[in-house]
Structure 1
Amino acid sequence: MDIKTATALHRLRLISIPEALSFPALIIFGSVLSRVSDIDFLMMPLGIVHGVLFVIYAVLLLDVWSKTKWPLKRVAFFFLLALLPFGGLYGDKLLKRYEADGVIAARARREGVVSP
Structure 2
Amino acid sequence: MDIKTASALHRLRLVSVPEALSFPALLIFGTLLSWLTDIDYLKMPLGMLHGILFLIYLVFLADVWNRTKWPAKKAALFFVLALVPFGGLYGDKLLKREEADSVLAARARREAAKAA
Residues of 1 paired with 2:51 and 2:14: CA distance? Answer: 16
What is aligned with 1:79? Answer: 79
Deviates more, 1:25-34 or 1:13-22: 25-34
Structure 2 residue runs without a partner (length 5+) = none
Residues of 1 paired with 2:107 and 2:69: CA distance? Answer: 20
Structure 1 residue runs without a partner (length 5+) = none
Aligned pair 1:3/2:3, yes or no? Answer: yes
Q: Normalising by the residue count of structure 1, what TM-score does the alignment of the two structures yield?
A: 0.93
- Matching of residues 57-72 of structure 1 within 5 Å: 57-72=57-72
What is aligned with 2:56? Answer: 56
Residues of 2 paired with 1:84 and 1:38: CA distance? Answer: 29
User: 1:15–1:53: 8 Å Cα contact kept in structure 2?
Assistant: yes
Residues of 2 paired with 1:50 and 1:27: CA distance? Answer: 8
Letter in 1 for 2:75: V
Q: Secondary structure at the match of 1:41?
A: coil
CA RMSD of aligned residues (A): 1.2
Q: Normalising by the residue count of structure 2, what TM-score does the alignment of the two structures yield?
A: 0.93
What is aligned with 1:89? Answer: 89
Residues of 2 paired with 1:112 and 1:41: CA distance? Answer: 60
Residues of 2 paired with 1:104 and 1:53: CA distance? Answer: 30
- Deviation of 1:32 after TM superposition, in Å, equals 1.7
What is aligned with 2:102? Answer: 102
Paired residues, number: 113
- Identical columns (%): 73
